[in-house]
Structure 1
């Protein structure tokens, strides 16, 4: 009798980026044969990008680790051997505790990668593990892409995650500065199906304008695009504020303070100064400010391009002030605050963030929200003395590819006493680990987005049970963190109290059920009945009641930010155009088929024409005698790479671009599979000495020279 084939349709979620798209999977005999967007999902509405389809590839990837491994040997001769879970967890806990007991907690460094924010298990159990390390040397991907947002939110609204998002579904005027949501699907703005939402914006007569040094995928569907010199966006944004004030167009809400102070601060940031520094004409600056003020609804949104530069905090502050002064703050179609079913802000599930409670040992850089800048990691490992980092923990991160001067960090990791990584893969960073503890993949674990419902352009909630059961000898990340927390504390002589031990062993589903019930917006029972998600409605005004500041008021001129304006004035005065044989400014870029520094061993995402080339304006190629497609040398203060160059009119003259996160060329795993993708890492060139006042890495606008090989 022939075997009966079992075919099922499963509801799933893509947690690879902030769009958190709902999925429908066809599973035949335990194998995913189809991945589609879920049309019933109230947020993503059936949208899916190429990354979502790749979830099935990760699940079946032979390169993915499923059991703990220990490195034997070093360098190119290193091999990996599997361990039992208890042996691996005991080994890691013993080594971490030994470092803390002998050298103090600060001798341990912890780096948390971007995927932790996308994992429910880390959200419920990760913080306890990090606290168990007793270290001030905590780092994360936040300081390479988003801390200016968080610092401004903390200073102006009272909480680091109280970040206003565009009410995109109802706005009439959308000004995008240094962001590319057509490729990113939104960032600190959870907006799946951005292409359709832009079409809807145009159908209702709205306009989108983009300011960017590259004519990005978003710029190509905009009504206007204007080139802006990297690192000078602050001049444009402050000049727009200047116009609002000078032309009496400002309409701030009643609960703001410091308008007169702000007017004085922006008095000399004229549109003419902005034109001289940025290349955006004074006429355009005035026109954009007036259009924003006159729009029935409007909003300014800025992301990576303005956060990852030397004046990222000033840029994000200026954007917040533009939304406040233009009369579109906390109004439909403007800058609004989502109301997630689990309110991480109001319930203090995540702390509000504090600034400068301690500083880095070597460079004396202040912390924010309990973290030091990732750019100082390597020097904290290399520099002798008390408090030197001797042992490192990484979780779901690849900082050798994603933080400044990756080669320098790689060399520092080679000299550690011990390193452990919680990761699915052997990559450029985890290859230095002594032990790798692999968690389950996205399709094998439950998911509720604690973070990204709080940045969404519509209020929704969704619980997604695991598609596949984990194998008996696999562990979820929350189990790894909970076990390590208990074992480390035991070895430090401070065993967990009964309630803490119970919490460390409690599955995330139980914790989320309690939070949903007490939140009053929906329940776990509702979400189980509606796996596609529950629609909680459009964004609505919530101010000033939800402000977390004293007396629920907003300071328009926080001194920490405004004290940085003299440095900005000096930098703008020093701006000079690139000469034919002079420096160019390097910026990054992202593609919809990429997921930062991983998934480059997935054939589905790496096929097609090369995406790794250095993009240059044809005039810049010609001035250097370089042919289109020719291999070139790119040199910065910290490094040199070789890569093919492509001439494209999409680049602003004087600006060049490499994609973020490329260069994935680990020579194989214990299974012998080679994981490679063409290209080089932009972070072989970015400079760890270039920082914003928030501590964010200034990855955009790095001076480089380009020459033919």
Structure 2
């Protein structure tokens, strides 16, 4: 085998940057941005360029591990691994019921997007509702706030229309949230074209340095500043009254609730200058279109949901939503076609509708099952005690209260962990599944489209899609699995029938999987992309990715019978 350069996709984060991978005798030597790919202009970040070190990591697991009763770890074949896990799981379910089995899906799903498409059907097949994810740890306020406020069916305004962009507690130049494709260049182009950037952040970040106004707040005072901006939008006659009359309710209540958040009060409480707050409000008022993006920062404070809700209120007060005839900001490509309309959808319950745990009254919300409750559920003496856990993510560093996490993981009857090396978390597992690295797995962009329906900081604002086959083979002599395979194979051993329910929420009838012939990852991708606007087979024809003009869309007119209203004064 000789030196070769292949196209691929970096999956270290949700930007999915197209890359060129230099390979020598199966070894990854170098990764750089792909200049032929649309939208990205050859961009990749230091994390992407570090992919060779990740793949050639000398500590990488090449075989799965089993922990013995004395604590020693020994290699175990994939076949024996599946047999033993299926046997132990069967005994746990027989003794304690299906709810004693849980799964946690973390950020590693970016590398292997088929995982969630198999993990959920597996839990459903055994009858367990105990599906947890990082969605209740990382920015859950965005999801909760949208439920309380209501959603705009036309979506957000297209970046080409932005005259202002308000960033709260985020640093898109580095994180790439809201500006996923070559963020520094995107932001530079926008500001050069006249877009005025406002940043609320305690740090003078790379993004804040480019701001027309930087409100350098005391940490945790984001909602104070947002309330102050709302106060000024009312005071300076900045409300889009026509939009509000047709699409919102609670305007007077919101005005009253923010009455005391004067510039002087906000300045004293949040540690900013009153004149800067007024300047930011004037930019928002003068802009004909714009957007607001919340980063991780507000979610790490105590009032993340409130910050998210107030940001949505500002967007609605200013009418910063896509209107009839505007371009759709996140058009569908590898998802079924959707009709975007210039109208609200009513608020929905954010909680109080699903499973309530025995832990401190914590319950299921629109963001999912509460991950903060999982360690206590493992340690619980209640009927909903979790005894077996499939873990896809580093719980030791992502779950709250590390000491409690250690205690909980140690108490499990069965802990199965996907990992690429032995880490602080996987060292506690009964079984560590040696998992393929990202360049050994096919890539496609549909998972990001799905994520963009939940979180406005992801997805593409152009009708872009990409697919890439696996770039390199696993190391010779290794015995590795893709993350989704453990769920299929254990289900197969247990005699369970798996039914794929479209995780995009668009297919009415589940699709039964063939439980005799194991599908390939490409088979699963085709299943995920059924009824897509652009067939996956066509996307595969473009190794650099492609902008599909026929998938471009515009916002349609409001339904004459639509009576829904966005809520500006939810009491929750």
Paired residue for 2:512, among 492, 500, 503? 500
Partner of 1:428: 424
After superposition, where does 1:84-103 map in structure 2 within 5 Å?
A: 84-103=77-96
Deviation at 1:374, TM superposition (A): 1.9
Partner of 1:518: 531
Partner of 1:697: none
- CA deviations on 1:57-116 (whole Å, 9 max, x unpaired) are 222223222322101246xxx332111212101211222222222112232232211121
Which deviates further from its counterpart, 530-539 or 11-20?
Answer: 530-539
Paired residue for 2:109, among 110, 116, 126? 116
Q: What is the alpha-carbon distance in structure 1 between the residues aligned to residue 414 and residue 154 of structure 2?
A: 38
Partner of 1:321: 313
Q: What is the alpha-carbon distance in structure 2 between the residues aligned to residue 64 and residue 552 of structure 1?
A: 57
Is the 1:344–1:450 contact (alpha carbons within 8 Å) kept by the matching residues of 2? Answer: no
- 1:79/1:545 CA distance change after superposition, 3 Å: farther
Q: Does residue 170 of structure 2 align to residue 173 of structure 1? A: no
Partner of 1:529: 541
Q: What is the alpha-carbon distance in structure 2 between the residues aligned to residue 311 and residue 443 of structure 1?
A: 39
Is the 1:166–1:336 contact (alpha carbons within 8 Å) kept by the matching residues of 2? Answer: yes
- 1:190/1:366 CA distance change after superposition, 3 Å: farther
Deviation at 1:176, TM superposition (A): 1.2
Q: Does residue 484 of structure 2 align to residue 478 of structure 1? A: yes
Is the 2:446–2:465 contact (alpha carbons within 8 Å) kept by the matching residues of 1? Answer: no
Deviation at 1:452, TM superposition (A): 2.0
Q: What is the alpha-carbon distance in structure 2 between the residues aligned to residue 496 and residue 193 of structure 1?
A: 40
Deviation at 1:514, TM superposition (A): 5.6
- 1:158/1:240 CA distance change after superposition, 3 Å: closer
Q: Does residue 48 of structure 2 align to residue 52 of structure 1? A: yes
**1:518 is paired with a residue of what secondary structure?**
coil
After superposition, where does 1:642-661 map in structure 2 within 5 Å?
A: none
Deviation at 1:511, TM superposition (A): 4.4
Paired residue for 2:173, among 168, 182, 185? 182
Deviation at 1:442, TM superposition (A): 0.5
Could you tell me which runs of 5 or more consecutive residues in structure 2 were left unpaired when the two chains were aligned.
340-347, 453-458, 501-510
Partner of 1:129: 122
Alignment length (residue pairs): 536
Partner of 1:660: none
Is the 1:110–1:394 contact (alpha carbons within 8 Å) kept by the matching residues of 2? Answer: yes
Partner of 1:282: 274
Q: What is the alpha-carbon distance in structure 1 between the residues aligned to residue 498 and residue 30 of structure 2?
A: 45
After superposition, where does 1:260-409 map in structure 2 within 5 Å?
A: 260-330=252-322, 337-343=329-335, 355-356=351-352, 357-369=354-366, 371-395=368-392, 397-409=393-405
**1:502 is paired with a residue of what secondary structure?**
coil
After superposition, where does 1:194-205 map in structure 2 within 5 Å?
A: 194-205=183-194
Q: What is the alpha-carbon distance in structure 1 between the residues aligned to residue 210 and residue 330 of structure 2?
A: 26
Query: Cα RMSD (Å) of the superposition?
Result: 3.1
Is the 2:28–2:56 contact (alpha carbons within 8 Å) kept by the matching residues of 1? Answer: no
- 1:370/1:199 CA distance change after superposition, 3 Å: closer
Partner of 2:62: 66
Partner of 1:23: 19
- 1:545/1:110 CA distance change after superposition, 3 Å: farther
- CA deviations on 1:13-57 (whole Å, 9 max, x unpaired) are 011111110001122222222211011222322101011122222
- CA deviations on 1:666-702 (whole Å, 9 max, x unpaired) are xxxxxxxxxxxxxxxxxxxxxxxxxxxxxxxxxxxxx
**1:458 is paired with a residue of what secondary structure?**
coil
- 1:373/1:276 CA distance change after superposition, 3 Å: farther
For normalisation by structure 2, the TM-score amounts to 0.85
Q: What is the alpha-carbon distance in structure 1 between the residues aligned to residue 492 and residue 179 of structure 2?
A: 35
Deviation at 1:426, TM superposition (A): 1.7
Q: Does residue 549 of structure 2 align to residue 553 of structure 1? A: no
Partner of 2:31: 35
Deviation at 1:486, TM superposition (A): 2.9
Partner of 2:232: 243
Q: What is the alpha-carbon distance in structure 2 between the residues aligned to residue 88 and residue 501 of structure 1?
A: 22
**1:519 is paired with a residue of what secondary structure?**
coil
Could you tell me which runs of 5 or more consecutive residues in structure 1 were left unpaired when the two chains were aligned.
564-709
Q: What is the alpha-carbon distance in structure 2 between the residues aligned to residue 26 and residue 206 of structure 1?
A: 38
After superposition, where does 1:579-618 map in structure 2 within 5 Å?
A: none
- CA deviations on 1:115-165 (whole Å, 9 max, x unpaired) are 214522114323212334533443221122121112223444459xx8966
**2:199 is paired with a residue of what secondary structure?**
strand
- 1:282/1:536 CA distance change after superposition, 3 Å: farther
Is the 2:336–2:532 contact (alpha carbons within 8 Å) kept by the matching residues of 1? Answer: no
Which deviates further from its counterpart, 10-19 or 525-534?
Answer: 525-534
Deviation at 1:301, TM superposition (A): 1.4
Q: What is the alpha-carbon distance in structure 2 between the residues aligned to residue 516 and residue 386 of structure 1?
A: 39
Deviation at 1:322, TM superposition (A): 1.3
Paired residue for 1:542, among 546, 555, 559? 555
Deviation at 1:6, TM superposition (A): 1.8
- 1:468/1:44 CA distance change after superposition, 3 Å: same
- More RCO (CA 8 Å, sep 6+): 2
Q: What is the alpha-carbon distance in structure 1 between the residues aligned to residue 149 and residue 110 of structure 2?
A: 23
- 1:483/1:70 CA distance change after superposition, 3 Å: same
Deviation at 1:389, TM superposition (A): 2.0
Paired residue for 2:220, among 231, 235, 257? 231
Partner of 1:466: 470
- 1:496/1:380 CA distance change after superposition, 3 Å: closer
Q: What is the alpha-carbon distance in structure 2 between the residues aligned to residue 511 and residue 84 of structure 1?
A: 24
- CA deviations on 1:283-322 (whole Å, 9 max, x unpaired) are 3223212211202432221111112222111111111221
Q: Does residue 434 of structure 2 align to residue 441 of structure 1? A: no
Deviation at 1:509, TM superposition (A): 2.4
- 1:505/1:554 CA distance change after superposition, 3 Å: farther
Deviation at 1:366, TM superposition (A): 2.0
Partner of 1:221: 210
Is the 1:55–1:442 contact (alpha carbons within 8 Å) kept by the matching residues of 2? Answer: no
Deviation at 1:552, TM superposition (A): 7.5
Is the 2:3–2:24 contact (alpha carbons within 8 Å) kept by the matching residues of 1? Answer: yes
Partner of 1:411: 407
